[in-house]
Amino acid sequence: MEGEENKEKGLTDTTAVFMIVVAIFFDVLQWALAFILMGWLAGIFAGLTFYVWFKSKGISFMRPKRLMVFGGSAIIEAIPLLSSIPAWTFAVSYLAISSKIKKVVPIANAVSQITTGKVIPFKSRAREQSTDELKKAA
């Protein structure tokens, strides 16, 4: 049990690739089942699978972009003619890659905080140094 507490939340590279492969599998399965009008069943299982999988990795869908991407793909896959579009693959790829980018590129995290209204004050080293130099000069 102690090892589980030390695991950090988020997707590893392996998990992200595996999620995308499973999304491709669900899209192909849904396309094949569409010929016997059962594609919607694969869509339900795909939606539940990815929801639980992302939540278990600590990725929330309470952000507008994530909710729109995930919900939009579920709606697209529920419409018979549009279900031939690989929406699960696009949605899972977008969600996995955007979650990985926020870890790799700190600017992406800062931009997302600014756009959501959660601005963190930023102190510049140059400003701190110039303030210290002014204090020494005085």
- Of residues 76, 66, 72, the one with CA closest to residue 30: 76
**Please, are residues 29 and 117 in contact by the beta-carbon 8 Å criterion?**
no
pLDDT tens sequence across 20-69: 999 999 999 998 888 888 888 888 999 999 999 999 998 888 888 888 99
pTM exceeding the 0.85 threshold for the entire prediction: no
